[in-house]
Amino acid sequence: MSKTVVHILLDSDVIIHFVKAGRISTLIDLFPQRMMMLDRVDEELRKNKTVNVILENMVVWKALSIVPFPAKDLNVFREYAQLIKTKGKGESACLAYCRYHPHIIASSNLKDIRKYCEQYQVAYITTMDILCIALYRQILTERECDEFIQKVRASDSKLPDMGIAKYRDTLFDRSKYSY
């Protein structure tokens, strides 16, 4: 009996965070051959030349798969049509897709995803959760995580204003994640 691989479905904000921090290799180390992105999210990111080059390299290296949005899957399409009324294009696509496919959404846009994910038992991780996993697996040190957070915040992207130790000890829910 073969085991189903659970993929990490990346939303644009997580990719942008790791690009701004200069740590895209951390994602590759953490989730080898498990990262995927819907083509609708890919389209959003391709407008940025730096991100475009990085995404191309990730695809070439087989670290990231670009997956077409399953518009012919009526359940996913109907869900997307409802979600797009109140949420962004990328978040709507990821949420609709993961409601019907057992993957994990990687998004830090908690305002748009948290309530929905909890309602439909869709697994999700944020950039900060990914940093905690990297810390646990000793891919990054506490200092490197804190530097990451500061770089991302200094580049006008949103992350909590706290160090990784405080986040890990107060907000990170270890029970939801298998390392």
Backbone CA torsion sign across 20, 106, 65, 91: negative
Residue 139's pLDDT is 96
pLDDT of residue 37: 97
pLDDT on residue 140:
97
- Sign of the torsion angle spanned by Cα atoms 60, 12, 36, 92: negative
CB 36 within 8 A of CB 63: no
Residue 170 is predicted with a pLDDT of: 86
Low-confidence ranges of the chain (pLDDT < 50): 179
Phi, psi values for residue 111, rounded to 5°: -60, -40
Residue 179 pLDDT: 45
